[in-house]
Structure 1
């Protein structure tokens, strides 16, 4: 089953899930706000078991015994046609960062690639207002929109085997904070002590889709 409405394509993921997605392209906050609103509406449907919002997409998992794929696709298409949006609410979370040094060893290289000094690069990075588009990759990992295009950097050709939790990273047109220690192909520019995922807390993830972040320069080690 493939159903297209406006620029949204709906397709089956097996017998009990539907992927709603857009063609590849630049991040669009207005479109992402529609995805969040659609995810909320879909979550309220009795037949829906899980809704997973992503970047430019949302997956809806449902009970195939109570509703057919085609019928669920029509319901989701009708939701999208309503053009409802979800506002980004709540206060901005400040993330103090020590830029450069051992935990930000790529700062000099990618600054030079951008034609900037490390100080200019850090100033632009900390000046941005970032919004969480989606969580994924690892528990609590936030894909952020809002990176200044001048700071965009292709991911490393060879990923590192270990990047510590709390490392501030840049990959492509996005920046993020490593929520758990793991391999990564993103560039390291600094480190924060803020914990983005704590399994002992009632709400383990620090942020959710729509959360706002701002990076604060705690120090710069050149």
Structure 2
């Protein structure tokens, strides 16, 4: 059984973390845990993260041991929640001013730029969790051959819609901000709009397909 731990966040929130692989099967267990815990008395909101779960509570918890025990017991059952989410196709421009690190990724992986683009745009990516900043999607499905380290010197500001890779993750930024990932392209899309009925464009279980409509050297 995977190791787990519970941490208090502030006075009315707890973080449950599972020491498990970063893959869809284990993330589906996080989704199942989220669905179950969201029905507990005193839980205002259950928010799935990457191999973790945050519970926002109505009151200051009086018995963290019980919460940890109940969550660990549910996790140990191994129940998975499969989600048949929607598919969103996103037009992408690889390279150029919006993808300044495309050549770096090609060099680090020992591939040509065309091979990197083809490999990156081939799979459908599953949204494992939404977070980091409003609307941002943590995606699973990146080919292991595209694994790259984070940049030693982060960029102080990238525009929203920037496509980046780091480690075994890839994603499109939902808003402008700093980044230590390798930025390989850009998209014209809004992942978060507070004036929409559902502000976040995607939810866990949805999928993304990247369409390379333009490549700039």
TM-score with structure 2 setting the length: 0.92
Match of 1:74 among 66, 69, 77: 69
Q: Equivalent residue for 2:196?
A: 201
Matched, 1:109 2:104: yes
Provide the C-alpha distance between the structure 2 equivalents of 1:212 and 1:36, rounded to a whole number of angstroms.
Answer: 15
Provide the C-alpha distance between the structure 1 equivalents of 2:12 and 2:115, rounded to a whole number of angstroms.
Answer: 49
SS in structure 1 at match of 2:68: helix
Write out per-residue CA displacement over residues 117-154 of structure 1, whole angstroms, 9 at most, x where no aligned residue. Answer: 11110000000221111112111111111101111111
Provide the C-alpha distance between the structure 2 equivalents of 1:155 and 1:122, rounded to a whole number of angstroms.
Answer: 19
Provide the C-alpha distance between the structure 2 equivalents of 1:151 and 1:202, rounded to a whole number of angstroms.
Answer: 36
1:181-196 superposed matches below 5 A:
181-196=176-191
Match of 2:124 among 129, 139, 142: 129
Q: Equivalent residue for 1:47?
A: 42
Q: Equivalent residue for 1:3?
A: none
**Corresponding pairs, count:** 216
Matched, 1:56 2:51: yes
Question: How well do the aligned residues superpose, as a CA RMSD in angstroms?
Answer: 1.8
Is the 2:29–2:81 Cα contact (8 Å) retained in structure 1? yes
Q: Which runs of 5+ in 2 are unaligned?
A: none
SS in structure 2 at match of 1:30: helix
Q: 1:120 to 1:67 in 2, by over 3 A?
A: same
Larger mean CA deviation between 193-202 and 96-105 belongs to 193-202
Deviation at 1:76, TM superposition (A): 1.9
Deviation at 1:49, TM superposition (A): 2.0
Matched, 1:95 2:90: yes
SS in structure 2 at match of 1:22: strand
Matched, 1:20 2:16: yes
Q: Equivalent residue for 2:142?
A: 147
Is the 2:12–2:57 Cα contact (8 Å) retained in structure 1? yes
TM-score with structure 1 setting the length: 0.90
Q: Which runs of 5+ in 1 are unaligned?
A: 1-5
Is the 1:47–1:67 Cα contact (8 Å) retained in structure 2? no
